[in-house]
């Protein structure tokens, strides 16, 4: 998984998979999903990320099983 924040466009791109996408769905006017052939989310593109997702602040925590 890869997360990138583009400050110049205030856009966040979250990549879950590098598989080719076959469908694009808009959740709303600011959030777009790319889906693979099986319907799995490949990427999430968030416009105006500083307002929609509190970007560029980001934290990651892995919890032991």
pLDDT of residue 56: 76
**Mean pLDDT of all residues belonging to the chain:** 90
Percent of the chain with pLDDT over 90: 66
Query: What is the structure's pLDDT at 13?
Result: 94
Q: Which residue has the tokens 């307002």?
A: 51
- pLDDT > 70: percent of the chain: 100
What pTM does this model have?
A: 0.82
- 20 to each of 9, 32, 46, how far by Cα in Å? 24, 16, 19
pLDDT band for 54, please (50, 70, 90 cuts): confident
């Amino acid at each position: 998984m890869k997360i990138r924040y583009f400050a110049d466009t205030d856009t966040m791109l979250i990549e879950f998979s590098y598989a080719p996408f076959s469908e694009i769905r808009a959740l709303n006017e600011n959030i777009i999903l790319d889906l693979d052939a099986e319907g799995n989310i490949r990427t999430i593109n968030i416009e105006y990320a500083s307002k929609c997702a509190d970007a560029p602040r980001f934290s990651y925590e892995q919890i032991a099983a």
